[in-house]
Amino acid sequence: MLRIDLDRLRRAGRTRLDADIPPGDPFWGDLDVFPRAPLAVRLEAQQAGEDVVVRGEMRGTFTMACRRCLEPVAVKIEEEIGLLYREGEQEEDGEVLSLPEKGTELDLGDPIREHVLLAVPRFVNCREDCKGLCPQCGIDRNKGTCACTEEETDDRWAPLRRLKKDA
Ligand SMILES: [Zn+2]
Ligand SMILES: [Zn+2]
């Protein structure tokens, strides 16, 4: 899906590559993210001498679990993409990517997946003041209260709790 025909690009000088990658598409493979809408990828590839420059952006929405209460949260990402491909072996983990030695097709799947992983936050909260789950009975404190006492909580945090109350 995210492939560029290098012969055609060389002839035309530039080419657009637009894709909407739905959840469930093989593109996602075993990436540990949960898209809830198609990932919109809008790119333009340009021949620059022997190099290929790919620029554009992607937008998507992912489902994540709130770090405190585990409720699902929709997380939007919007990322600019800039890739530079050059002939020959390139440094691993470097900024410059290698053009394929054989064939005339450039597959952008891996770098786009990498951008997704970097763009999706590691943690989210459903809201700033999410009260989370009761560590003792597991009730969602946003939705209800429980009779658990706080006695068993770690007292090292007591001064911090007091600070927060005063704030
Ligand atoms: Zn929450
Ligand atoms: Zn409880």
pLDDT digits (tens, 9 = 90+) for 40-68: 999 999 999 999 999 999 999 999 999 99
Ligand 1 centre distance from Cα of residue 143 (Å):
10
pLDDT digits (tens, 9 = 90+) for 108-150: 999 999 999 999 999 999 999 999 999 999 999 999 999 997 6
Q: How far is CA 73 from CA 35, 36, 101, 152, in A?
A: 11, 10, 42, 30
What pLDDT sits at residue 152? Answer: 53
Ligand 2 centre distance from Cα of residue 141 (Å):
8
Of the candidates 4, 124, 105, which has an alpha carbon nearest to the alpha carbon of residue 62?
A: 124
The DSSP 8-state label assigned to residue 100 in this structure reads: P
Of the candidates 148, 157, 72, 79, which has an alpha carbon nearest to the alpha carbon of residue 115?
A: 79
Ligand 2 centre distance from Cα of residue 122 (Å):
27
Ligand 2 centre distance from Cα of residue 90 (Å):
55
Ligand 2 centre distance from Cα of residue 68 (Å):
14
- H or E, element range at 51: strand 51-65
Each domain of the chain, given as residue ranges in start order, spans 3-119, 131-167
- H or E, element range at 14: strand 14-21
Q: How far is CA 80 from CA 5, 14, 40, in A?
A: 22, 18, 12
- Could you tell me where the DSSP H helices lie in 21-157? 109-119
Ligand 2 centre distance from Cα of residue 165 (Å):
20
